[in-house]
Amino acid sequence: MTTIHDRAVRGFASDNYSGVHPEVLAAIAAANEGHQIAYGEDAYTARLQEVFAHHFGDGIEAFPVFNGTGANVVGLQSMLPRWGAVIAASTAHINVDEGGAPERVAGIKILNVPSPDGKLTPELIDREAWGWGDEHRAQPLVVSITQSTELGTLYTPDEIRAIADHIHPLGMRLHLDGARISNAAAALDLPLRAFTRDAGVDVLSFGGTKNGAIGAEAIVVLTPEASTGLTYLRKLNMQLSSKMRFVSAQLVALLEGDLYLRNARHSNAMAARLRREVEEGIAAGAIRGVAFSQPTQSNGVFATVPDGVADALRESFHFYDWDAAKNEVRWMCSFDTSPDDVDAFVAELGRLTTR
C-alpha cells in the first residue's frame, strides 16, 4: 500500500494525531514471526507482567486492553458493585469525553466536582463523599483522578497520598487515569511507582497510545483486594485481544528501557518551548491578545486568543477549542513534535494577532 496522506501536515490538536514510534513498530515486527498462543498466553504478555512489576513492584497484575476508555471502564467496573459511584473532577475524561461509557456500559454513576485546575483535593471530594447507607443515593466508593490532568496540570505524590489517606478510611478506593502518565513521570522526574502505588493508588489505567504506541493500554491492579473479576470483565466489555502479543509488545518496548521517558520528555519540552516562545512574543509585542489559562506542566498548553484567531490559525495547524465561549484553546505536543513545528506555529500565531 502506498502512502495516501500528506506527511508534511503537522498539528497541535492531540498526541493521538502522531504516528507510532519506530521502536514500537520494530517491536511489533519482532513479535510477528511464528505462532503464539492467543488471548494473552503468549511470551510477550508474560514479559509485560515482569516489566510492570519492575516499575510498580511485586504482587501487581496487568491486563492489556485496546484503548483508554476501555481501561477506565473495565478498571472502574472491577472496583465497584452495581450500586457504586465514582467521584471525579468535572473535567475528567470519564465524565466528559467517553460518550457516557462509564455510565452506559459499566453502569457506574459519576459524581463530578468542579475544579479550576482539573485536580481533586480531600475538601473537593467531601462535596460528594457522603450518603453511605442511604438507599436513595449511589454509593461513593471510588475516587478517580487523572495524571497528568485534562488541563495539563500535575499532582505531586504528596497530593495523591493526601487523597488516598483521606478516602481509604472511608472505605473508598483510588483509581488513576494515566492516559498521559509518562508525561507526568517525566515532568516530576520520578519513578512511576512514586506517585501511584507508593502514594496509595489502587488501580491504574496505564496509557501508551498517546506516547508512541498504537492502540496499547493496560489496567494495572496495584492493590489486589481493590479489584475483582477483571479476567471476565475484560472479555465481557470487548477489550480482550485475541492476538494480545502485539499489544503487549508495544508496552514492553515503551517500558523495558527508557523509551516512555524519552518520548514524554520530548513532548513536554516542546510544550515548554511553545509556551516560552509565545511568552517572548507577547513581551516583544510580536504576539497580541494571547494569555495562558493554565500552567504548562506537561505536554499541553492552554491559552485564550483574540476573536477569529483560532479559526484562522487552524487553516495551517490542527488544534481544538477547549472552551469556545472564552476563546480558550488547547495546543498539544507529541513525541514527534519538532522545534521547527513550534517555531512555524508561533510565527503564524504572531502574524495573525498583529495583522
CA dihedral 106, 121, 13, 94 (to 10 degrees): 10
Among candidates 143, 142, 214, 209, which has minimal Cα distance to 181?
A: 209
The answer for 202, left when phi > 0, alpha when psi is -120 to 50, beta otherwise, is alpha
Which pLDDT value is given to residue 163? Answer: 98
**Grid coordinates belonging to 125:** 471530594
Burial of 156 (0-12, 13-18, 19+ CB in 10 A): middle
* DSSP H stretches of helix in 39-116: 43-56, 68-79, 93-96, 101-104
Among candidates 42, 88, 107, 51, which has minimal Cα distance to 254?
A: 51
- State phi, psi for 32 to the nearest 5 degrees: -90, -25
Burial of 355 (0-12, 13-18, 19+ CB in 10 A): exposed
3-state secondary structure of 139: strand
pTM given for the model? 0.97
Which pLDDT value is given to residue 271? Answer: 98
Q: Are strands 320-323 and 217-221 parallel, antiparallel or unpaired?
A: unpaired
In this predicted model, what pLDDT tens digit does every residue of 299-344 receive, in sequence order? 999 999 999 999 999 999 999 999 999 999 999 999 999 999 999 9
Among candidates 231, 235, 216, which has minimal Cα distance to 31?
A: 216
Q: Is the pLDDT of residue 8 over 90?
A: no
Q: What is the mean pLDDT of residues 37-50?
A: 98
In this predicted model, what pLDDT tens digit does every residue of 195-222 receive, in sequence order? 999 999 999 999 999 999 999 999 999 9
Which pLDDT value is given to residue 100? Answer: 95
Percent of the chain with pLDDT over 70: 100
Which pLDDT value is given to residue 117? Answer: 97
Which pLDDT value is given to residue 38? Answer: 97
In this predicted model, what pLDDT tens digit does every residue of 242-281 receive, in sequence order? 999 999 999 999 999 999 999 999 999 999 999 999 999 9
**In the chain, what are the domains?**
31-257 (3.40.640.10), 260-354 (3.90.1150.10)
In this predicted model, what pLDDT tens digit does every residue of 112-157 receive, in sequence order? 999 999 999 999 999 999 999 999 999 999 999 999 999 999 999 9
Q: Are strands 217-221 and 61-65 parallel, antiparallel or unpaired?
A: antiparallel
Confidence of residue 1 (pLDDT cuts 50, 70, 90): confident
Percent of the chain with pLDDT over 90: 98
**Grid coordinates belonging to 72:** 477506565
